[in-house]
Structure 1
Amino acid sequence: MKNTTHFGFKKVATNDKQSLVRNVFNSVASKYDLMNDILSFGAHRLWKHYTIASSNVKIGNKVLDIAGGTGDLAIEFRKKVGDNGQVILSDINAIMLNEGRKNLTNKGIIGIEFVQLNAQYLPFNSNTFDCISIAFGLRNVTDKDQALKEMYRILKPGGCLLILEFSTTDSALLKKFYDFYSFNIMPKLGSIIADNEASYQYLAESIRKHPNQEDLKSMVLDAGFDFCEYNNLSYGIVALHKGVKI
C-alpha cells in the first residue's frame, strides 16, 4: 500500500485516512438522511430504488450491505429475502451503525443483523453471500482494490456486487452547474443544517477523486469479477456498477 492517499483534495498518510473519514461521519450521522434528501433533492431515494430493482435478490438469499449507514438499502433487501433469507447491515463507523439501528427500530423493521467492519477486511467465509451492495461508500475506502477483492472472495458463484456511487457526467453544461453547486452551495447547506461545512466540502472533493465509470469498471474486473456493467443515473452524476462472479 502507498504511504500517502487522498482525503478529498488533500494528501494524507494512508494510515490516517480511516480516522479522518470516521470523524466526518461521526459529525454528520444525526443529520445524514435529512442532508441526503436536501442535497440530492430527494433523488438518492430513486437511485437506491433502481439499485434494489437491479439486484435480482430472491427469497432466501443472503445479502451484505457495506457502508449501509442508516439502512435504506437493508430495509428493502429485507423485504426481498423474506424470513428465510439474511440481511447484514454493516458500517465501519459505530455511530452511523447506531443511527441505522435506531432508524430500523423506529420503523418496526426486524430480522436485520448489524456488523461493524472495515470493507478491506471482511470477516466472512468465502462464497457466503448472494449479493453485496455498497452505496456512496466506496469512495471513502482507503484501499479500494483490496476491498473489491474481499467482496469478490465472499460472494457465492453467481452472486453480484452492486456499487452505487457518485461518478462523472459527460454533459459540459451540467458539469459546470454541478461543480458550482458542489463547492459553493453544498458546504453552505452543511454549515446551516448540520453545523458542519468542512464535512460537506470533503464530500464534494471526494467525489472528484473517485474513479470514473470506466476506471471503476476496470477495477471491478481486476478484482476477479467475470463481468461488470454500469448504468448512468442522472446523466452520470451517479452510476450503478454491477459485477458478477461466475
Structure 2
Amino acid sequence: MEAVIPEYSLFPSFFAMFCLIYLIGYFVIFRNWGPKHRPDASSCFISLCHGTPAVFLALSAILSQPIRGFASPNTNFQNLVLDFSIAYFTSDLLHYLIFVPGDYLFIAHHLATLFVLVTCRCLVLHGAFAVLVLLVFAEVTSFCQNVWALAGLRKAELPSAARMHMFLSPPFYALYTVARGLVGPVFFYKMSAFYMSGKAGDVIPMWASVSWIVVVGVAIAVSILWISNLWMKLFREMSQKEEKKGR
C-alpha cells in the first residue's frame, strides 16, 4: 500500500531546509576552515545530507509502487522524493553560481540533472521508477565520496586528512566504478531500449524520452571518464611511493 503523502509539492520546504543546512555548515561546522575551503565544505555537507537519505527514500518509493515499470505513473511518494532531490540540486547549483561560477562542468551537470527531475515531476508525471533507480546508483556513493572530498580539501594542511583521503580512495573508487561504470550502464541500456521502442509513447512524449536518454548517457560517460582518471592518478601515486621506498 502506498504511503500517504501530500499531493502538493514539498520543494519549497526542502529547498529552505537545504539552504539552512548549507548556512549551518558555512557559519558553524566549518567556520574555522578559512574562506578558501568553507564554501566547498558546505557544499559537501548538504550533499551528505541529501545522498544517503535520497537512496533510502528512493528505494522505499520504488518498492512501495504497486506496478513498477519504465512508463508507470508517478506515485505521490515518488514525487516527494523528486521534490527532495530537486531542492538539493537547486541549492547546490546556487552554491556553484555564487562561489564557483567558472566550474562549467558541475553547473552543466546540475542543470541537466534538474531538467530530468523537473520534467519527470512536473510535466511528464510518469517514469519516476527509472529516474529514481538512476538516482540510487548516483547517490549510493555519496557518503564515501563526500568524506573523501572533505579530507581532500585539507590534505595539504593536515597529515591526518591526507591519510584519510588516501585510505578512502580505493574503496570509494571501487564502489563508484561498480555503481556508475557497471550496474548503472546496464540499467541505462534497458531503459533506453524500452523508451526508444516507443512502448511509452502514450504517456511519455518522445522528446522527453530522448532527452532523458541523452542527458543520462552523457552523465554516465563523463562519470566513467572521471573515475578512470582518478584510478590512473592513484596508480601513479602508488608507483611513486614504491619507487621512493626502493631507493
TM range (shorter): under 0.3
- Higher strand fraction: Structure 1 or Structure 2? 1
- Higher helix fraction: Structure 1 or Structure 2? 2
Report the TM-score when normalising by structure 1. Answer: 0.26
Bigger-Rg structure (1/2): 2
